[in-house]
A and B are shown apart, each in its own frame.
Chain A
């Protein structure tokens, strides 16, 4: 009995020794917005290339970039551009400034409760609502009610993107309710007739997506596939991958595959928009 056990253990140990160096897994970490898309990429890619091994985890754009800096991930997913300070840290550690790869487009939607009479808002109005300069729906053509402003927690890439690009770097109002995740924002807005929120283009019960106008004179558009692709929807962002050096070998193969038609078809399937 003991002998058999010993044999089994030795066989197991040997096989794991041999299996390990055969392929090092590619690790992907970062944005929660992109985690489902990255997992689909990994699954399909691994089913096509059986020797490849890819591990995907979320955690947020900042977490992913920190992991890239600390050397614990090969690829970082980010829903916002990398910051100069973060590139500075990368340079300190590795002497490289990192490489940016645009892999998808995303239209950031603004939601209101389904019963709200508000149909469209300009970028400037959205900015004023989120910075607290507009606090009543009356000021944008709605009923005489206070605006209940929902946003994301400050650890999210979406929070930072919205602040940098829509609020032009200004601070959010102190009274904004911060929610952990797009789903929580959608849920909160669907239960509150006076609410406004932002997040990925989700279509859920109880909310309605606002048509966004670039300025007073232009037409308002909803974040549909055509509008985002044609560049008509004004709150469009890129989703990125970041790597330390110009990709080579297996890493290059995987990234090229993501940029190929096959990889881009997954982007559409999970609800984002392809790069071309």
Chain B
């Protein structure tokens, strides 16, 4: 028989179909991400539109008196406060894209202020606290489970910490709001019950499992020969783990911390509930903060569609997307691939 005929692949329709389906689903999810990005971007672009003519048109056409119904049923309006200004100053204000560089966030105002700096400061403050607390705990825990823990303990520890990552963030937020905030205030005597520190501590609960899991994977990926060589040379177990295994796994651990940073930066519910949401421009971690993500979470539902404020919220969404996307990209490509090669020499 001809050898060529034997080697020729037989066309199997079922297999072909299954293959196509799998690749199709992969492409669909890619398309979804692209579409989300396009949608968010499209809603943010009118930020750069010149709005002065809208305001001029609004000024030119004063509205008639409001029609009422059933007002004869209302008995007296004594004591009801008078609105001091009948004109809508908010609508007469022309907002520009450069407003985003201001130092105040007061979108509902006669002179709306859309400065993003206090929100940036807030996001960074909370994220920094969360990472400073979570990273050492998670990395040391990963080191312990990898090298020291007996097998049964390892098998208990890993799933338990991973369950933490499945915890709904609203539950963590509620816990922080009701229990943690009071405990921290009585412990440290902070003036504000809800502040950046409470948010950071609560956030670290959400970040620990991410850093732990990825660091543990990185430690496991270190070749056995390294630790065996170290032990054979007479190094103790703790010396081996701290000075041989951990340094070899550093790129992976660093990537874990970066991914944790990305998660913390975008997390909404915890900070919305636990940080007090005051857009303050300060670096004092005992003061309340308002983060970028919490601002979207709190304000999106009520904003007038197509308004400048609406566009600004979408622009914040793009910023968050870009930040977490570049962090993930950096963690994946640079740290994991390049550094790993450099350290391992293969």
Closest-by-CB residue of B relative to A80 is B83
Q: State the CA gap A82–B68 with chains docked (Å).
A: 12
B79/A177 in contact, CB under 8 A: no
B76/A231 in contact, CB under 8 A: yes
A99/B69 in contact, CB under 8 A: yes
Q: State the CA gap A178–B294 with chains docked (Å).
A: 11
B191/A148 in contact, CB under 8 A: yes
B106 interface neighbour in A100, A148, A171, A243, Cβ under 8 Å? A171
A236/B81 in contact, CB under 8 A: yes
Q: State the CA gap A165–B281 with chains docked (Å).
A: 27
Proximity bits, B267-279, A CB within 8 Å = 1, else 0: 0000011001111
Query: Given A63-B301, A84-B88, A165-B81, is A180 in contact with B69 using a C-beta cutoff of 8 Å?
Result: no
Proximity bits, A82-114, B CB within 8 Å = 1, else 0: 111111100100000111111001000000000
CB distance from A71 to the nearest CB of B (A): 13
Stretch at the interface among B57-65, B134-142, B212-220, B320-328: B57-65
Whether, in the assembled complex, A1 has its beta carbon less than 8 Å from a beta carbon of chain B, the answer is no
Residues facing A in B75-123 (CB within 8 A) are 75-85, 87-91, 104-111, 118
Closest-by-CB residue of A relative to B87 is A84
B193/A153 in contact, CB under 8 A: no
B69/A246 in contact, CB under 8 A: yes
CB distance from B285 to the nearest CB of A (A): 15
Whether, in the assembled complex, B305 has its beta carbon less than 8 Å from a beta carbon of chain A, the answer is yes
Stretch at the interface among A13-21, A43-51, A154-162: A154-162
Whether, in the assembled complex, B70 has its beta carbon less than 8 Å from a beta carbon of chain A, the answer is yes
Closest-by-CB residue of A relative to B181 is A191
Q: State the CA gap A125–B276 with chains docked (Å).
A: 23
Cross-chain pairs A/B with CB under 8 angstroms, 18 sampled: A60-B302, A62-B302, A88-B61, A98-B67, A154-B298, A163-B108, A164-B83, A171-B109, A171-B110, A174-B104, A174-B278, A174-B279, A177-B278, A230-B78, A237-B81, A247-B69, A255-B69, A276-B74
Query: Given A97-B63, A105-B80, A235-B81, is A154 in contact with B299 using a C-beta cutoff of 8 Å?
Result: yes
Residues facing A in B142-164 (CB within 8 A) are none
A101/B69 in contact, CB under 8 A: yes
Main secondary structure of the interface of B (DSSP, over half): loop
- What chain B residues lie within 8 Å of A105 (beta carbons)? 80
A234/B81 in contact, CB under 8 A: yes
A177/B302 in contact, CB under 8 A: no
Main secondary structure of the interface of A (DSSP, over half): mixed
Residues facing A in B290-310 (CB within 8 A) are 290, 298-299, 301-305
Q: State the CA gap A255–B68 with chains docked (Å).
A: 12
B280 interface neighbour in A175, A184, A231, Cβ under 8 Å? A175
A176/B70 in contact, CB under 8 A: no
B79/A160 in contact, CB under 8 A: no
Query: Given A178-B276, A275-B73, is A87 in contact with B193 using a C-beta cutoff of 8 Å?
Result: no
Q: State the CA gap A177–B192 with chains docked (Å).
A: 9
Whether, in the assembled complex, A188 has its beta carbon less than 8 Å from a beta carbon of chain B, the answer is yes
B280/A174 in contact, CB under 8 A: yes
B299/A153 in contact, CB under 8 A: yes
Whether, in the assembled complex, A66 has its beta carbon less than 8 Å from a beta carbon of chain B, the answer is yes
Top 5 closest A-B pairs, CB basis? A231-B79, A231-B78, A155-B302, A276-B75, A177-B276
Closest-by-CB residue of A relative to B113 is A171
Query: Given A83-B91, A85-B58, A236-B81, is A191 in contact with B280 using a C-beta cutoff of 8 Å?
Result: no
CB distance from B42 to the nearest CB of A (A): 19
Whether, in the assembled complex, A59 has its beta carbon less than 8 Å from a beta carbon of chain B, the answer is yes
Q: State the CA gap A9–B304 with chains docked (Å).
A: 43
